[in-house]
Chain A
């Protein structure tokens, strides 16, 4: 059975199932969501209005037996940045949608009145819209539990928490994982778009269907090579043992760990929040130090963090979140950080944007740096309940900066800067500035080469070579984001010569086509240009590809360096 486009119109509550247009057949994941958004969404539309669309697309390899292939993309116009947006998540939904033959699920229009809420239901028969009341107002954990009761434990769930219902710009979209915990389409406020269309959740019926493979023998052979490349890579082993939080100590040592709202590059409390401490704490308390976010992942970078009584506290406890709460907000206590992580999972908030927002709020004196108890109280009592303070925080770092008249606001195109200071790691500064989706580290993860020695070495303080490094990684990442692969396959792809050819072989065997490496590069370039064209039509210019003023003027310890890459150099990024 061929894959189809599933369309849901929330204006007239109708659904259609369409054949996949020729031009979309070679696309998946971000390549498909960005192509559809660019083709069908007016770039100047209001992101919370009826002209925006929410597009879910599994990757080209999602639903197959290939290792690490189960990621799901969701795209639209971001209410946080006003740019095009693609956000990527683990969980079980990507594989389930692929097996049901969903090439893309497009949610368009919006109900005329705000009186009702709805849910979408995907089965092998298609998609239906139902009115929903029972889970409205619930946090994501309760939604998943309720739906497990209603539909059975194997149901796939995509859900928004209270933040998405209230259309906050920091609202994420959450995905149920194999243990009924939460993974996130974190960045860019797409949870608010889902909320603006009055869709609380999407339930996906499990199926025994298998994804069609054009060349099963070729697929199996490539799959073995690919999985081996991932498993053998030493970085996979470190990720399995310590999680992404292994980065705290190396980024701190390098002098690029943004601390107390980006006023220092090192945090004196780094050990208390490090991956090493997290690992030891999890083991001592009987949690799980190694865990995966979707079936078929062989890297297992996730974990289950237990509280002092050995009970589940949070999972998917990531470096970005722990940095933001631990160093940027100076909360040097993993238990408060875990509490806040769990609250953000439940309320449905981007765990980079909101803690960075808190960092700006701390600078503004709303609460003290290091006050983990008050931060958790504000999440629970204010953001989740939509009080005026809660709505300001829930709207992100730029909104807090504006409301309190702060100049040290670390955002690009309105999105908060993640866990690496661009003054001390210049390659990532280029990615932040030029990314089509606002400040984002995954778009072109130069940390790999600037700090980790992966894919070569480039001095993080050098002014030379950073634009080329970011460009190459952004192109490659856009392509990987289309395959359904977890981006962590990139560590193997950059250093193991068997890995990328195996990935290309997998795509060819799945579809019976004959791509070569240049085709993958061209795909990445096309995606970036499509996204940029949307943004320019939305009103963005090269003046928006800039870092905030304070980075050029405030030297950061310990290296006492500023952001000094010229505008001309930044703009040369687009010379391809």
Chain B
């Protein structure tokens, strides 16, 4: 173990988590509809958005497992994360 800046880093598999990421509307352009992706544990929804190159200012709604979530929420292994731009209708 190598303590670094007060944090402990492990080197085995449980350091990462598998998430299903779903994108919608024009966020799909040049990206994807749905993909299983690997992220470090502790990754927030905002981190995922930035990692995908989605403009944070354009994000309207985010959900984890069909429930609304804040940008600073941390998904768990196997979660479905959905990211929508600002949309509306009737």
Interface residues of A (CB under 8 A from B): 234-235, 238-239, 241-247, 249-250, 253-255, 271, 275-276, 301, 318-320, 441-442, 445, 448, 451-454, 457, 459-461, 487-488, 491, 558-559
Interface residues of B (CB under 8 A from A): 22, 24-26, 28, 33, 58, 60-61, 63, 66-68, 82, 84-90
Q: Give 19 new A-B contacts, CB below 8 A, not counting A253-B84, A445-B90, A453-B60.
A: A235-B60, A238-B26, A238-B85, A238-B87, A246-B25, A246-B88, A250-B24, A250-B61, A253-B22, A253-B24, A253-B66, A253-B82, A301-B89, A318-B90, A320-B90, A441-B90, A442-B90, A452-B86, A461-B67
CB distance from A262 to the nearest CB of B (A): 17
Which of A234, A254, A275, A319 is close to B86, meaning CB atoms less than 8 Å apart?
Answer: A234
State A454–B90 Cα separation when bound (angstroms): 13
- 19 A-B residue pairs with Cβ-Cβ distance under 8 Å, sorted by A, are A234-B85, A234-B86, A241-B25, A241-B26, A243-B89, A245-B89, A249-B84, A250-B87, A253-B24, A253-B66, A254-B68, A271-B33, A276-B28, A318-B90, A442-B90, A454-B88, A487-B90, A491-B88, A559-B66
B66 in contact with A244 (CB, 8 Å): no
Interface centre among B28, B60, B82, B90 (most CB of A within 10 A): B90
CB distance from B81 to the nearest CB of A (A): 10
With A244-B90, A452-B87 as contacts: A558 and B66 at CB distance below 8 Å: yes
State A457–B33 Cα separation when bound (angstroms): 26
Which of B22, B60, B61, B87 is close to A242, meaning CB atoms less than 8 Å apart?
Answer: B87
Which chain A residues lie closer than 8 Å to B24 at the CB level? 249-250, 253, 276
Which chain A residues lie closer than 8 Å to B33 at the CB level? 271
State A270–B66 Cα separation when bound (angstroms): 15
Chain B residue at minimum C-beta to C-beta distance from A274: B24
Which chain B residues lie closer than 8 Å to A249 at the CB level? 24-25, 84
* Interface secondary structure of B, over-half rule: mixed
B68 in contact with A457 (CB, 8 Å): yes
State A249–B85 Cα separation when bound (angstroms): 12
A247 in contact with B26 (CB, 8 Å): no
B66 in contact with A448 (CB, 8 Å): no
State A250–B66 Cα separation when bound (angstroms): 9
A275 in contact with B88 (CB, 8 Å): no
State A454–B84 Cα separation when bound (angstroms): 13
Which chain A residues lie closer than 8 Å to B84 at the CB level? 249-250, 253
Chain A residue at minimum C-beta to C-beta distance from B80: A253
Which chain B residues lie closer than 8 Å to A241 at the CB level? 25-26
Interface centre among A254, A271, A441 (most CB of B within 10 A): A254
B61 in contact with A453 (CB, 8 Å): yes
Which chain B residues lie closer than 8 Å to A451 at the CB level? 61, 68
Which chain B residues lie closer than 8 Å to A244 at the CB level? 89-90
B82 in contact with A239 (CB, 8 Å): no
Which chain A residues lie closer than 8 Å to B86 at the CB level? 234-235, 238, 452-453
4 tightest Cβ-Cβ pairs between the two chains A and B: A244-B89, A235-B88, A234-B86, A238-B87
Interface centre among A448, A453, A488, A559 (most CB of B within 10 A): A453
Chain B residue at minimum C-beta to C-beta distance from A460: B68
State A448–B88 Cα separation when bound (angstroms): 7
B87 in contact with A246 (CB, 8 Å): yes
State A487–B28 Cα separation when bound (angstroms): 28
CB distance from A157 to the nearest CB of B (A): 24
Which chain A residues lie closer than 8 Å to B85 at the CB level? 234, 238
With A234-B60, A250-B84, A457-B68 as contacts: A242 and B90 at CB distance below 8 Å: no
State A23–B84 Cα separation when bound (angstroms): 46
Which chain A residues lie closer than 8 Å to B61 at the CB level? 250, 451-453
B82 in contact with A452 (CB, 8 Å): no
Which chain A residues lie closer than 8 Å to B25 at the CB level? 238, 241-242, 246, 249, 275-276
CB distance from B32 to the nearest CB of A (A): 12
CB distance from A312 to the nearest CB of B (A): 23
Which chain B residues lie closer than 8 Å to A275 at the CB level? 25
State A247–B22 Cα separation when bound (angstroms): 15
Which chain B residues lie closer than 8 Å to A271 at the CB level? 33
Which chain B residues lie closer than 8 Å to A461 at the CB level? 67
A319 in contact with B90 (CB, 8 Å): yes
Which chain A residues lie closer than 8 Å to B68 at the CB level? 254, 451, 453, 457, 459-460
CB distance from A370 to the nearest CB of B (A): 23
CB distance from B66 to the nearest CB of A (A): 5
State A244–B87 Cα separation when bound (angstroms): 9
State A487–B33 Cα separation when bound (angstroms): 30
With A241-B25, A558-B66 as contacts: A235 and B87 at CB distance below 8 Å: yes
State A452–B89 Cα separation when bound (angstroms): 9
